[in-house]
A and B are shown apart, each in its own frame.
Chain A
Amino acid sequence: SQQGEEDPQALSIQEGENATMNCSYKTSINNLQWYRQNSGRGLVHLILIRSNEREKHSGRLRVTLDTSKKSSSLLITASRAADTASYFCATDPPLSGGYNKLIFGAGTRLAVHP
């Protein structure tokens, strides 16, 4: 079963607006990552935040992590049409044994209109 749930399932905005996606997970984690997927293609890593971090920035991306609430959010500022994609959070639970096993959420489909 999936570890995370994302909210909203779909988001439609205009270029220039900000997009916020949320992710909730069930168990403790070592880290949480966000990935982007364009139209059924491979996933592209966006950002990784460790369990002892609360906020991280990368360009127009801002990720927050609240381990007490078991939730994370991804903010994309000044969105562009090229940001149209599905966004997934992925967790690395301790029970994975420290091996490269990611548990993905259901994803948020973002549509950015020109």
Chain B
Amino acid sequence: KAGVTQTPRYLIKTRGQQVTLSCSPISGHRSVSWYQQTPGQGLQFLFEYFSETQRNKGNFPGRFSGRQFSNSRSEMNVSTLELGDSALYLCASSFRRTSSYEQYFGPGTRLTVT
């Protein structure tokens, strides 16, 4: 079974631009979560989608948004990029509705904002 895939793997953007990252979960998984990882703040939860509905959102500004499609693939968008948005963005998928089970992480998208 193929793992979680994320595209692109690396991205360089300029301040003020916007970016869209994509995540394809493991086949059959309906929950997709997004995390931001930076050296200063560590791993922080962004949001989670299940069956196209955002069920939970972390403490991030409205510039960060996401969506999930009927095939469970998810995208996250960051508008008006700031230097501090440079990070590794990880998505994770899970078969279950709740986090009482393991999550499967993709390799991440490394975003650099200049």
Measured CB to CB, the residues of A under 8 A from B are 2, 30-31, 33, 35, 40-45, 48, 50, 88, 90, 92, 96-107
Are the CB atoms of A100 and B94 closer together than 8 Å?
yes
Closest CB in chain B relative to A21 CB, distance in Å:
15
Are the CB atoms of A102 and B106 closer together than 8 Å?
no
Please name the residue on chain A nearest to B104 by beta carbon: A45
Residue B99 interfacial (CB < 8 Å): yes
Are the CB atoms of B108 and A42 closer together than 8 Å?
yes
Are the CB atoms of B33 and A100 closer together than 8 Å?
yes
Summarize B's interface: helix, strand, loop or mixed: strand
For A42, give its contact among B33, B97, B105 (CB under 8 Å): B105
Closest CB in chain A relative to B111 CB, distance in Å:
13
Closest CB in chain B relative to A11 CB, distance in Å:
17
Are the CB atoms of B88 and A101 closer together than 8 Å?
no
Q: How far is the CA of A43 from the CA of B104 in the complex (A)?
A: 8
Measured CB to CB, the residues of B under 8 A from A are 4, 31, 33, 35, 42-45, 48, 50, 55-56, 58, 88, 90, 92, 94, 96-108, 110
Given contacts A42-B108, A43-B105, A107-B42, contact A99 B99 (CB under 8 A): yes
Are the CB atoms of B106 and A42 closer together than 8 Å?
yes
Given contacts A2-B42, A88-B43, A102-B99, contact A43 B94 (CB under 8 A): no
Q: How far is the CA of A44 from the CA of B106 in the complex (A)?
A: 9
Please name the residue on chain A nearest to B42 by beta carbon: A106
Please, which residues of chain A bring their CB within 8 A of the CB of B55? Answer: 97, 99
For A103, give its contact among B4, B45, B48 (CB under 8 Å): B45
